[in-house]
Structure 1
Amino acid sequence: MAQIKKIKVDASKVQLAIRAGIPLTLTTYTLPHAMEEYICEILKIFLEDLGQNHMVDSLTYCIKELVNNAKKANTKRIYFQEKGLDINNYSDYEKGMKTFKQDTLNNIRYYMELQRRKGYYIKVSLQTRNNKIKIEVRNRAELTVFEYKRIHDKITRAQQYSSVEDGLVQLLDESEGAGLGLVIMILVLRKIGLTEENFQVKCENGETITRLILPFSAATLNDINALSTEFVNLIDGLPEFDENIMQINRIIDDPKSKMSDIAMKISNDVSLTAELLKMVNSAAYVLSTPCSSIGDAVKIAGIRGIRNLLFSIGTMHKLTVNSTGKNKEMWDHSYRVAFYAYNIARNFCAKDRGCVDDSYVCGLLHDMGKIIFENAMPDVLYKINSLCTMRGIEPELFERMISGVNHGELGAKIAQKWNFPQVFVDVIRYHHEPAEAPENVRKLTSVIYVADIMTHYEEGKVLFEDIDSAVLKTIGIEKEEQFHGISEKLSHAFRREK
């Protein structure tokens, strides 16, 4: 038999997924040994890059257990189809399981080829967001009632044992792969301070999804909090927005001021005048004739529109000083997300006026944390590195966590420092986890999440199944064909707009 070559691991792709907070997905149909080893190596790099080395051995065992169970579940479907048995019928299930193991082992290549031909996939995804790690294994077969009950029986049984060793001694049920291995997996998780609550099993859309949600170690979280606080303290000396923007804000806040006062002040600033006219003459306002009067433009945009414009312009002025090539790339992404967010809100959330009005500016500012980190002055970074040395923290942790996984929290803290409306602060903080956002901004945060993830989908960085289906449903998107169609239309429209 020809030796299967080891699959080469590209560590840079793992690091890119971590920095972007997007899922890293691996797909296989037959799970050969080389692929299993590749998955484990990716997991190792993923955990080590996050500074979670203490989890490597335990989670390697867990992921092997999950992918092999997924492979077995797919093979079982193929076997039952070949035997003409209904896997959802208890009598047929019992009959088929008596011969399943021996028959498939004796002719494994045949069943693996059928599995590949019929598209019975196994997908593994790794992702980190909000100081948590999500490991997910999907296979194209929903659990039967009997299988689902068996898994939960095993999880319950695992609670009876005090350790892995105790479980091995007392539990010898190996009739199915979800038996001994699953119990040991729960005990292994417990050994690193986790419980069965960190393990989830569910079925939807023809798939079985097994999921591990893992918090970072307490030591890592303490280091992250210390570095985040120190960074915010160090950049607290940043000046506020330009004085003319602050003056216009004060006029807006003054109940005695008139729209003509706002128009007069804006007209004294060439860049603000140009941006306001550009905004009201964009497709967003659908004017029958172009607007050239600042007075009319102020009335068309309204107080909320003017305020959003000021925050957008003020932030861009502040964060594009000494802009680098990487900075430009991040701003291009932000403009695309803003455009997508506004159009998604206008088409799917039209009754929520606040959501529509705030969608563009929130899309533009969602990645403030990343952009601010890239613009940090050398003396700030030097002081942070000194703090790392003093506290025995890896200097790489700061860059890894602040510019990547933790950028939502960092951006929210800066938004608070600049007195942004609480809506903006919350959206920036939770744009990767809309379900955790306060209820009053959850829909808007969901819009920003969808717009953001759509740009990554277009770049081939995420698959549709990697996108949170619950968030999509809150917007009114349920199928990939619908999502893909919206993506294509927005992409074409954005290119025209540019």
Structure 2
Amino acid sequence: MISEAQKEKIFSALTKSIPITITTHKVSRDTELRIEAILELILSEFGLIEVHDKISYCLKEIITNAKKANTKRIYFEKNGLRMDSPEDYKRGMTSFKEDTLSNIDYYLKLQEEAGLYVKISFHAQGSVLMLTVRNNSEISQKELSRVYDRMARARTYHSMEEAFSEILDDSEGAGLGIVIMVLMLKKIGLTEEAFEISVNDGVTSAALTLKMADVRAEGIELLIDEIVNGIDSIPQFPENIRRIQDLINDKDSSMTDIAKQISIDPAMTADVLKIVNSSQFMLPNKVENLLSAVSLIGMKGLRDLILRYGAQKTLKFEGSRKLWEHSHFVAFSAYSLARARRLSKDIAEDAFMGGILHDIGKAVFANISAGLMTRFEKIAKSKSLPTKIIEDLFAGYNHAEIGARIAEKWNFPDSLVSCIRYHHDPLKCKKGDKGYVFAVYLANIFAGYLSGDIIFEQIDPTVLTFFHINDEDELKVIISELEGKFEREKSTF
């Protein structure tokens, strides 16, 4: 139904956040098949093919209501009835369904002659997919009230059977179908707030907003749980690192105790001395004594240092130069953004560490054994999940959630867990975390913008406003400056 060339155009539109639109005067069977194929392709790309049937039902229900609204407008006009008249409306609806279904081709022809249309739009913005159906027949206040009444009633139903037993009148599109749609959304973890209907300049718009992080795909959740539970097969932080962590968290430990433990690891000792003698500290004389270096760095600095060092060694970041350099660019940019926004030094340092560690979920997969991979494949097969779900997970889909769960398992500070979990969905973080989370998100966006994977319109406007970035020209200036500074200073990392 969709050619390879069309698939490429769809993928390109998804990447560039360009709406994919189908406009038709009548939604023929061929058009329905095309819509279905596009939806399936997009959900596959998001790794959510297992919720396809439920979302497909919702989209079909919205399209059916748009088609029916156009037909209703033509029918009322042809019979000299006014839709805003309660008497005319009641009279017209008594015969509308029977008359139009028995002669649908005639009424579809009248709709085309009148220029009535149904426009279906698929628009991906980051991890949000918006499905919008527009038709140029303005919904009446009576019908709009009926839709929202049905949605409100749907909240009280716990099953399809309950809805069927209580709703007997399905004389209009805003009846049982709307209730079932809300119940379908509930099944995949969304509320009726995901659906919105509005009117503007005579055009009725019905939109279904799917925040992919909120969509509950049970098979994927189960696999994520298995991956995190299987992390025991991935090496834990080195024993020495864990002992240093314990000392840092122990209020009774001294800098001397910590320095002694660090001295056991020559590579870490060299790292500590390198950092103290870098431009970051701007000391007049070179420091060669480890205890002096530890004292200068301080407890928080030491915590960040060992997390960075441990993640690099444990997750083999050094085996992926591209990933490690990307993480450093994000860390450098996040720190710079936080300081430019006059956020506190602690927040800026958390942003730096969040940038270093934001992609640990991706690094994890490089460490998963063949045996564990086979185990995941067996689970997917037992749940009748498509192979692509495994492929998507191992290609990085949901790496933010996987990384956050691993960070929790390794007792990372809450600030870093939040940076890892929400670096693609910053608005979901707690209010107190937004300084460092927003910084890591935008720094990661900068990297995507430089590589051509992200366009300006895809960037969350709330985050841009937070950092006082008003337009794309300002963004380009900031990125250019950061890129230049990073190139000059990356040798110190």
Structure 2 length-normalised TM: 0.67
Opposite residue 387 of structure 1, the aligned amino acid is I
- Residue of structure 1 in register with 2:129 after alignment: 134
**Could you tell me how far 1:168 is from its partner in structure 2?**
11
- Residue of structure 2 in register with 1:331 after alignment: 324
**Could you tell me how far 1:449 is from its partner in structure 2?**
0.9
Over aligned residues, Cα RMSD in angstroms?
A: 4.7
Q: Structure 1's 27 and 435: CA in aligned 2 closer, same or farther, altered over 3 A?
A: closer
**Could you tell me how far 1:150 is from its partner in structure 2?**
7.1
Give the count of matched residue pairs.
409
Q: Structure 1's 416 and 192: CA in aligned 2 closer, same or farther, altered over 3 A?
A: closer
Alignment check: 8 A CA contact 1:134 1:214 kept: yes
The CA distance in 1 between the partners of 2:276 and 2:37, in whole Å, is 52
Alignment check: 8 A CA contact 1:335 1:363 kept: yes
**Could you tell me how far 1:268 is from its partner in structure 2?**
4.2
The CA distance in 2 between the partners of 1:230 and 1:29, in whole Å, is 38
1:263-302 Cα offsets, whole Å, 9 max, x none, are 3443443321332233334444444565554344323321
- Residue of structure 2 in register with 1:346 after alignment: 339
- Residue of structure 2 in register with 1:253 after alignment: 249
**Could you tell me how far 1:46 is from its partner in structure 2?**
1.2
The CA distance in 2 between the partners of 1:453 and 1:185, in whole Å, is 40
Q: Structure 1's 136 and 251: CA in aligned 2 closer, same or farther, altered over 3 A?
A: same
Q: Structure 1's 347 and 64: CA in aligned 2 closer, same or farther, altered over 3 A?
A: farther
Q: What is the 5 A alignment of 1:312-331?
A: 312-320=308-316, 323=319, 327-331=320-324
Alignment check: 8 A CA contact 2:361 2:402 kept: yes
Q: Structure 1's 138 and 337: CA in aligned 2 closer, same or farther, altered over 3 A?
A: farther
1:125 to 123, 126, 130: 123
Opposite residue 135 of structure 1, the aligned amino acid is M
1:10 to 8, 11, 32: 8
The CA distance in 2 between the partners of 1:136 and 1:409, in whole Å, is 25
**Equivalent position SS for 1:273:** helix
- Residue of structure 2 in register with 1:475 after alignment: 467
Q: Structure 1's 38 and 388: CA in aligned 2 closer, same or farther, altered over 3 A?
A: closer
Opposite residue 197 of structure 1, the aligned amino acid is E
Q: Structure 1's 303 and 334: CA in aligned 2 closer, same or farther, altered over 3 A?
A: same
**Could you tell me how far 1:366 is from its partner in structure 2?**
0.8
Q: What is the 5 A alignment of 1:63-212?
A: 125-127=123-125, 129=127, 133-135=128-130, 155-159=144-148, 190=182, 192-193=184-185, 197-199=193-195, 212=208
1:366 to 358, 378, 391: 358
1:363-411 Cα offsets, whole Å, 9 max, x none, are 1111111210232111110111122223333233233246534222211
**Equivalent position SS for 1:389:** helix
Q: Structure 1's 7 and 224: CA in aligned 2 closer, same or farther, altered over 3 A?
A: closer
Opposite residue 123 of structure 2, the aligned amino acid is S
Q: What is the 5 A alignment of 1:280-319?
A: 280-287=276-283, 291-319=287-315
2:478 to 486, 489, 494: 486
Q: Structure 1's 434 and 382: CA in aligned 2 closer, same or farther, altered over 3 A?
A: same
Structure 1 length-normalised TM: 0.66
**Could you tell me how far 1:26 is from its partner in structure 2?**
1.9
**Equivalent position SS for 2:217:** helix
The CA distance in 2 between the partners of 1:484 and 1:32, in whole Å, is 39
- Residue of structure 1 in register with 2:427 after alignment: 435
Q: What is the 5 A alignment of 1:11-30?
A: 13=11, 24-26=16-18
Question: Which structure: larger Rg?
Answer: 2
- Residue of structure 2 in register with 1:54 after alignment: 53
**Could you tell me how far 1:468 is from its partner in structure 2?**
1.1
Alignment check: 8 A CA contact 2:318 2:324 kept: no
Q: Which runs of 5+ in 2 are unaligned?
A: 26-31, 65-111, 151-162, 200-204
Q: Which runs of 5+ in 1 are unaligned?
A: 18-22, 66-104, 109-121, 140-146, 172-179, 204-208
The CA distance in 2 between the partners of 1:463 and 1:287, in whole Å, is 41
**Equivalent position SS for 1:8:** helix
**Could you tell me how far 1:489 is from its partner in structure 2?**
0.9
Q: What is the 5 A alignment of 1:344-493?
A: 344-350=337-343, 352-401=344-393, 403-493=395-485
